[in-house]
């Protein structure tokens, strides 16, 4: 026993620390593991009566980037003063970084704990031993960094030569020379090509995913860990479609270093925060034409631009993907005051009334919204401009639609036929396996028979789908072709067709328009639109807008005029009855009620029913003069008594002061006396009565 091991050390326990850096070392490097466990016998040989083995950190790295519960237990025991010596095979087993290593040395020095490895016994309390331990920790950290540097440089050198050192995506196979070849399976090739083809048609990864799921077309996926040999067919998800569209290997390019990582400190330890994507010019390795691809490099870049443009963010320059909302210009309008992109707000009972607005003023200056415009007139005006621009190509668009419909059916039919061919092969293979087994071995024969039946059921399902598709995808008849060409000559009729999807209309507008800058004028009230076309041409368009208090559901002017006149002699309930009897409707198309009349008077600042008797209806005037209604009607018909009637069948409105006119009083007195006066001829001045 060495003189460094004293009695107070032996009275405490000896801790043996066992660690291996990875699970692979734990499984396969068993000899080194046994050597570390053998340190317990050495501790007993040195005189320690109690030995504690800590092996909680098997398969855990010692770089300090991950927490080590076993090492934490060791530090706790050292601080409590219950450890007489710490035994490890070498310094690299205790720590691979100077921070943990020197922290352990400091604690051992304060608690007079020994450190023992294969080379000797060290007392951190002694300056020479402390120096030697520091050098051992530095060399351990340097050794790890050197190993990593060598392995990384060798890996990157091989990658720069175009060697593939990872699993390739579906549609490719990795050769024995670490190269990439196209998959020889024609079904897989056709499936991958159909993804890019359908994305070019629809312009959206989500719409592409929905198409494959609606048509029940499955896409291939590689089973992880099989080297691309095992492929399963599933209905795609949105992330699966985006993985295919974003992978440059499908463009024949070999790329490495497409993402970067940043290191952040968490609980005093460095950790990697995933992950940011790099631009193609920032990739570590990018070898074009490395292998045969499914698309060209230019198509790949165009696809990436379309995917980025489909991301809808308020501050982003792109418009985002076309959605199902009724606002046709969503994503195209930009505020002429602050330069922000206008957003869409929907209102109404069913949320189908769109309006464009910009909150730039509220954000920048804390003031009101920059501008807010209705969509109805603006959308109609812009669509008319687009029709005038693209009308000459309408016939060609109709012809292209015919070809696209036929090509789409051909693509679906070809995919189903390839799947049917493979299903028939699997059925024949299952039959051969069933025929090769001993019939008396029912444990195996029953399982193979079940697999054969499943294969036959899949063949039957695919055959029925192919047969149905052949029946439903018949060529267009002459009548259908003629109708399609007729619609091509009138794009407006085609645009308003109920079957025309809103998403397609928006994509058409975005194909010809880059953006639209919007401004407003007060005198006259107009929305000024600056249309920026794709070719670089700019067009100014002025669209009239409603003034204050005006909107598309305002009451009819004749109804407002009638309410104004009737308010002189009728209350709101009577006015509503008269309007309904005359067949008038509100701006929303409803029958008139009391609150409707009140709202019109309030918005138009119209007078209320006057109770001062200034104006009288015909019946009230008859009672005032003590005659019948017929007499008053005759006076009005003869032009003796002035009265107004806004529309036919509306009540007569008579001013009370007109009842005292001499001609009126003379006729009334004659009626009371039973005398008959000659009726005046209309258009002639009346003679004064005596």
The contacts of residue 644 (CB under 8 Å, 6+ apart) are 565, 652, 653
Burial group, residue 479, by CB count within 10 angstroms (0-12, 13-18, 19+): exposed
* Mean pLDDT, residues 448-452: 84
Lowest pLDDT segment from 104-113, 124-133, 320-329: 320-329
SS3 103: helix
Q: Residue 147: its pLDDT value, please?
A: 84
> Do 98 and 64 touch, CB atoms closer than 8 A?
no
- Within a 13 Å sphere around the CA of 80, how many CA atoms are in the beta-carbon half? 10
Peptide bond into 600 cis (omega under 30): no
Structure token pair of residue 490: 């009138």
393-443 per-position pLDDT tens digit: 554 554 455 455 555 667 777 777 788 888 888 888 888 888 888 877 877
Write down the residue that tokens 């479609």 correspond to: 241
For helices 394-436 and 186-202, give the axis angle rounded to 10 degrees: 150
Q: Is the model's pLDDT at 9 over the cut of 80?
A: yes
Q: Give the per-residue pLDDT at 643.
A: 82
Write down the residue that tokens 């008797």 correspond to. 613
Q: Give the SS3 label for residue 331.
A: coil
Which residues fall within 8 angstroms of residue 471, CB to CB, at 6 or more apart?
none
Helices (H), 62-174: 69-79, 91-94, 98-111, 127-160
DSSP result, 649-662: TSPPBEEGGGGG-H
Distances, alpha carbon 154 to alpha carbons 98, 161, 163, 589, in Å: 26, 11, 12, 79
The three-class DSSP label of residue 507 is helix
Tokens of 659: 């009842």
Among 196, 174, 179, residue whose Cα is nearest residue 290: 179
Non-local (6+) Cβ contacts of 547 within 8 A are 525
- Tell me the HSE value of 500 on the side-chain side, using a 13 A CA sphere: 15
Give residue-wise pLDDT tens across range 174-232. Answer: 888 888 888 888 888 888 988 998 898 888 888 889 888 888 888 999 888 777 778 88
Asked if 307 and 328 count as a contact pair (C-beta separation under 8 A), the reply is no
Cα 355 to Cα 101, 166, 343, 344, 368: the distances in Å are: 65, 51, 8, 6, 16
Helix (H/G/I), strand (E/B), else coil: 236: coil
DSSP H/E element including 357: strand 353-358
Name the token pair of 381.
């005006």
Please report which confidence band the pLDDT of residue 486 belongs to, taking 50, 70 and 90 as the band edges: low
- H-run or E-run covering 84: strand 83-87
Which CATH fold would you assign to the domain 7-156? Rossmann fold (3.40.50)
Q: 572-581 vs 557-566: helix axis angle to the nearest 10?
A: 140
pLDDT above 70 coverage of the chain, percent = 82
Give tens-digit pLDDT for 77-128.
999 989 999 998 887 788 888 888 888 888 988 998 999 888 889 898 888 8
The reply to whether 473 belongs to the active site is no
180 in Cβ contact with 172 (< 8 Å): yes
Structure token pair of residue 486: 């007729």
pLDDT class for 681, splitting at 50, 70, 90?
A: low
Q: How many C-beta neighbours within 10 Å does residue 659 have?
A: 17
- Dihedral sign (CA 332, 338, 340, 341): negative
CA distance 663 to 616: 18
- In this structure, how many other beta carbons lie within 10 angstroms of the beta carbon of residue 534? 10
How confident is the model over 258-308, as pLDDT tens digits?
Answer: 887 776 666 655 555 566 788 888 888 888 888 888 999 999 998 988 888
Is 19 in contact with 62 (CB distance < 8 Å)?
yes
What average pLDDT score do residues 595-619 get?
A: 75
Q: What angle do CA 43, 49, 51 make, to 5 degrees?
A: 55
Q: Report residue 173's pLDDT band, with 50, 70 and 90 as the boundaries.
A: confident
Q: Report how far residue 446's alpha carbon sits from residue 443's, in angstroms, rounded to the nearest whole number.
A: 6
Q: What count of other Cβ atoms lies within 10 Å of the Cβ of residue 299?
A: 15
The pair of three-digit structure tokens given for residue 498, joined into one six-digit string: 């109920």
Q: How far apart are CA 652 and CA 643, in angstroms?
A: 6
Rounded to the nearest integer, the mean pLDDT of the chain is 79
Tell me the backbone φ, ψ of residue 304, rounded to 5 degrees. -65, -40
pLDDT-derived band at 687 (thresholds 50, 70, 90) equals very low
Sheet containing 526-533: order of strands: 333-335, 513-521, 526-533, 538-544
Nearest of 127, 166, 387 to residue 255 by alpha carbon:
166
Residue 437 confidence (pLDDT)? 80
The pLDDT of residue 690 is 36
484's tokens: 């399609």
Residue-wise pLDDT for 490-525, tens only, equals 666 667 777 777 877 887 788 778 888 888 887 778
Going by the DSSP 8-state scheme, the letter that residue 196 receives in this structure is H
DSSP string for 400-466: HHHHHHHHHHHHHHHHHHHHHHHHHHHHHHHHHHHHHS-TT-HHHHHHHHHHHHHHHHHHHHHHHHH
Residues 474-485 pLDDT 10s: 565 667 666 655
Residues paired with residue 122 on neighbouring β-strands, in sequence order: 115
Closest CA to 137 of 117, 153, 152: 117
> What is the structure's pLDDT at 175?
83
Quote the tokens at residue 392: 């000459």
The H-or-E segment that residue 239 falls in is helix 238-246
Q: Helices then strands (H, E): number in the chain?
A: 25, 22
Return the structure tokens found at 395. 């016939």
Instruction: Tell whether the model's pLDDT for residue 352 goes beyond 70.
Output: yes
519 Cβ contact partners less than 8 Å away, ≥ 6 residues apart: 336, 337, 371, 527, 528, 530
Is 357 exposed, middle or buried (CB count within 10 Å of its CB: 0-12, 13-18, 19+)? middle
What does the DSSP assignment read for 390-416? HGGGHHHHHHHHHHHHHHHHHHHHHHH
**Rg (alpha carbons) of the chain, rounded to whole number:** 45
3-state secondary structure labels for all residues of 10-59 = HCCEEEEEEEECCHHHHHHCHHHHHHHHCHHHHHHHCCCCCEEEEEEEEC
Residue 689: pLDDT band with limits 50, 70, 90: very low
Q: Which fold has domain 615-673?
A: Multidrug-efflux Transporter Regulator; Chain: A; Domain 2 (1.10.1660)
User: Which of these is catalytic: 21, 92, 375, 567?
Assistant: 21
Strand partners, 355: 345, 374
Residue 265 burial by CB count (10 A; 0-12/13-18/19+): exposed, middle or buried?
exposed
């Amino acid at each position: 026993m060495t003189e460094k091991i004293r009695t107070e050390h032996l009275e405490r326990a000896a801790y043996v620390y066992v660690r291996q850096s990875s699970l692979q070392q734990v499984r396969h490097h068993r000899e080194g593991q046994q050597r570390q466990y053998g340190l317990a016998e050495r501790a007993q040989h040195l005189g320690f009566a109690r030995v504690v083995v800590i092996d909680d950190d098997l398969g855990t790295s010692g770089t300090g980037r991950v927490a080590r519960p076993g090492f934490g237990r060791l530090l706790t025991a050292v601080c409590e003063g219950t450890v007489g010596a710490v035994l490890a095979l070498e310094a690299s087993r205790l720590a691979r970084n100077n921070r943990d290593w020197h922290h352990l040395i400091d604690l051992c020095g304060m608690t007079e704990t020994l450190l023992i490895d294969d080379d000797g016994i060290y007392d951190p309390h002694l300056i020479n031993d402390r120096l030697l331990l520091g050098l051992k920790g530095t060399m351990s950290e340097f050794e790890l960094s050197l190993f990593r540097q060598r392995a990384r440089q060798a890996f990157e050198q091989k990658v720069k030569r175009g060697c593939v050192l990872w699993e390739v995506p579906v549609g490719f196979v990795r050769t024995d020379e670490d190269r990439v070849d196209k998959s020889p399976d024609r079904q897989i090739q056709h499936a991958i090509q159909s993804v890019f083809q359908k994305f070019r048609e629809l312009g959206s990864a989500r719409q592409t995913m929905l198409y494959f799921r609606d048509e029940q077309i499955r896409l291939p996926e590689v089973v992880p860990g099989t080297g691309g040999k095992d492929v399963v067919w599933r209905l795609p998800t949105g992330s699966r479609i985006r993985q295919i569209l974003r992978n440059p290997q499908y463009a024949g390019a070999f790329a490495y270093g497409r993402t970067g990582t940043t290191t952040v400190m968490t609980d005093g330890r460095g950790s990697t925060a995933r992950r940011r994507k790099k631009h193609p010019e920032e990739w570590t390795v990018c070898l074009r034409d490395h292998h045969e691809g499914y698309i060209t490099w230019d198509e790949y870049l165009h696809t990436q631009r379309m995917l980025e443009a489909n991301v809808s963010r308020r501050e982003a320059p792109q418009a985002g993907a076309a959605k199902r909302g009724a606002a046709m210009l969503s994503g195209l309008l930009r505020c002429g005051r602050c330069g922000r992109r206008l957003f869409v707000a929907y209102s109404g009972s069913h949320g189908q009334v769109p309006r464009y607005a910009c909150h730039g003023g509220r954000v920048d200056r804390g003031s009101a919204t920059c501008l807010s415009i209705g969509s109805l007139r603006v959308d109609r005006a812009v669509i008319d401009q687009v029709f005038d621009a693209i009308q000459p190509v309408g016939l060609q668009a109709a012809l292209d639609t015919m070809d696209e419909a036929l090509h789409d059916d051909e693509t679906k039919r070809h995919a189903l036929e390839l799947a049917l061919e493979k299903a028939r092969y699997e059925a024949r293979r299952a039959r051969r396996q069933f025929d090769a087994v001993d019939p008396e071995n029912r444990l195996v024969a029953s399982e193979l028979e079940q697999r054969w039946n499943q294969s036959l059921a899949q063949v039957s399902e695919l055959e029925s789908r192919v047969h149905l598709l052949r029946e439903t995808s018949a060529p267009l008849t002459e009548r259908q072709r003629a109708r399609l060409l007729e619609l091509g000559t009138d794009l407006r009729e085609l645009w308003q067709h109920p079957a025309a999807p809103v998403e397609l209309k928006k994509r058409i507008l975005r194909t010809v328009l880059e953006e639209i800058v919007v401004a407003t004028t007060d005198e006259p009230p107009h929305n000024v639109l600056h249309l920026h076309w794709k070719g670089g041409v700019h067009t100014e368009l002025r669209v009239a807008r409603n003034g204050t208090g005006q909107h598309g559901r305002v009451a009819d002017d004749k109804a407002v005029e009638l309410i104004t006149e009737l308010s002189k002699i009728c209350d709101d309930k009577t006015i509503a009855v008269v309007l309904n009897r005359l067949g008038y409707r509100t701006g929303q198309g409803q029958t008139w009620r009391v609150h409707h009349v009140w709202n019109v008077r309030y918005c138009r600042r119209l007078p209320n029913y006057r109770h001062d008797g200034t104006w009288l209806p015909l019946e009230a005037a008859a009672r005032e003069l003590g005659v019948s209604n017929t007499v008053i009607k005759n006076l009005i018909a003869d032009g003796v008594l002035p009265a107004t009637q806004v529309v036919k069948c509306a009540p007569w409105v008579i001013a009370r002061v007109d009842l005292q006119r001499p001609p009126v009083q003379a006729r009334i007195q004659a009626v009371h006396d039973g005398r008959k006066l000659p009726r005046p001829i209309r258009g002639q001045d009346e003679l004064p009565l005596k």
